[in-house]
Chains A and B, each alone.
Chain A
Amino acid sequence: MAETHVDERPAEEEPVPPAHAGRHPGPKEYVRIAIVLGVITALEVAVYYVEGAQDYLIPLLFFFSFVKFTLVVMWFMHLKFDSRTYARFFVMGLAGAITLFLIVLLIFQVFSN
């Protein structure tokens, strides 16, 4: 008689995540981040039209842009939660791009014009 193998695991058992797997936020957290991003974008546009803010316009816009960039990369792209190796790869490319930007603009004296 053939031996019957009985699988004792429950049918809907949760699979065990591998060691590298991160814990991603849930939909509510994503919606909250999206609202913050929307508010910052609205502030960017508002600052553009405010007469009194023109002296600080460029630093303010760069600050808002940096915050939005960081929020998307850390939460939506999960760099805050995933392996640091991914972050190292990305920062490497980003650092290269910023270095290129600064060197070229310094050579052509864009900042002094």
Chain B
Amino acid sequence: MATVEHAVVEEHAATSTGLPSTKLAMWLFLASDCLLFGALITTYVLYRGASVTGPFPADVFDIPYTSVSSFVLLASSLTMVLALAAIQRGDLGRCRIWLLATALLGMTFLGGQVYEFTTFVHEGLTLKTNMFGTSFYLLTGFHGTHVGVGVLMLLTLFSLSFGGRITQRNAMTVELVGLYWHFVDIVWIVIFTVVYLIPTGTPPGAS
């Protein structure tokens, strides 16, 4: 199957680097966000096994349920990149469809996270219960906030497209939102492995 490639046309003011400043700024922001999530993941790994009272990770995690959430977020990355490919071809109609699909998948993921948090609270795990609860809600809550901001950006793009503000010439706007969205996805790839799949032993003397 032949790969269909297309040259990307980016319109931007002349810069000393020859690169669009907005895209460079987005990559710089993502690099700084790496440090934020690096700190949060480190905190989680440090404290998840330090709880002396339950519930512990093995008591509350539902791996099949979280796996479905992971598939939803992965699918949203595909729809996002298809939206970008569509606007780069000048196909505004398809771009709108894929943008809306991405936002809906993002909202589905968020709905899943709200359900998961509610279930955990009913099982006795709150932000204040133990070290695992504190570090877990902090990390996944920050990630969920990022997804929420991404959904708002996608819905803004979707509404702007009806006012003629999204065109092939300024496809960069869609690309910037896409970079942010894919970043949220790669952070979840790490969280899914480190938080959910890597098992944590119950500490000695824990009740």
Please report A residues at the B interface, Cβ cutoff 8 Å: 15, 17-31, 33-34, 37-38, 41, 44-45, 48, 57-58, 61-62, 64-65, 68-69, 72-73, 75-77, 83, 85-86, 89-90, 92-94, 96-98, 100-101, 104-105, 108, 110, 113
Nearest CB in chain B to that of A64: its residue: B193
B174: interface (CB < 8 Å) = no
Tell me which of B35, B190, B193 contacts A96 (CB under 8 A): B35
Among residues 26 to 46 in chain B, which have CB atoms less than 8 Å away from a CB atom of chain A?
A: 27-28, 30-35, 37-39, 41-42, 45-46
Provide the B2-40 mask, 1 if CB < 8 A to any CB of A, else 0. 011111111000000111000110011011111101110
- Of chain B, the residue at the smallest CB distance from A83 is B19
Given A61-B197, A93-B30, A93-B32, answer yes or no on A101-B190 (Cβ-Cβ < 8 Å).
no
Are B3 and A29 in contact (CB-based, < 8 A)?
yes
Binds A, one of B68-76, B132-140, B157-165: B68-76
Contact sample, A vs B, 26 pairs, CB 8 Å cutoff: A18-B9, A18-B18, A22-B8, A23-B6, A24-B85, A25-B3, A30-B81, A44-B192, A44-B193, A45-B197, A61-B193, A62-B193, A69-B189, A72-B189, A76-B178, A77-B179, A77-B182, A86-B19, A86-B27, A96-B35, A97-B38, A97-B39, A100-B35, A101-B45, A104-B42, A104-B46
Tell me what chain B mostly uses at the interface: helix, strand, loop, or mixed: helix
Q: Which of A30, A41, A83, A89 lies in contact with B71, CB distance below 8 A?
A: A41
Q: Contacts A23-B7, A72-B77, A104-B42: A86 and B24 contacting too (C-beta < 8 A)?
A: yes
Give B179's nearest chain A residue, CB to CB: A77
Best-surrounded residue of A20, A24, A72, A97 (most CB of chain B within 10 A) = A97
Q: In chain B, what residue has the closest Cβ to A30?
A: B81
Q: List residues of chain B with CB within 8 A of the CB of A97.
A: 34-35, 37-39, 41
B130 at the interface (CB under 8 A from A): no
| Number of B residues with CB within 8 Å of any CB on chain A | 59
